[in-house]
Amino acid sequence: MKKNIIEPITTAGLETFLAAGNPSLNLLRVQPGVPADAVYEHVSILMGYIKHLVREGDMEDDHKFLGAADYLCDMAKALMNDIEIAKNKTH
């Protein structure tokens, strides 16, 4: 009898982020093959940084903090979207 081997979920490497240029093109792409557990850990860390930057940016009325938070938010979103793409491919 064959055992069902469950392959770990890894990034698909399809999601892009950081629009630049005219016409707008995405500058960066998530690398394929990164284990989902590692991605979730990094997204959790990113979200902590984003929360801190937004809080400081609001208190100090500092648009540099808010801009940095926006970039990190795009990165976190791309990572999560890429994992969802990978999950949908396995079903």
For the whole model, what pTM was predicted? 0.87
pLDDT tier, 1 (very low <50, low <70, confident <90, very high otherwise): low
pLDDT at 81: 97
Please, are residues 80 and 40 in contact by the beta-carbon 8 Å criterion?
no
> Model confidence over 28-37: pLDDT tens digits?
999 999 999 9
pLDDT tier, 27 (very low <50, low <70, confident <90, very high otherwise): very high
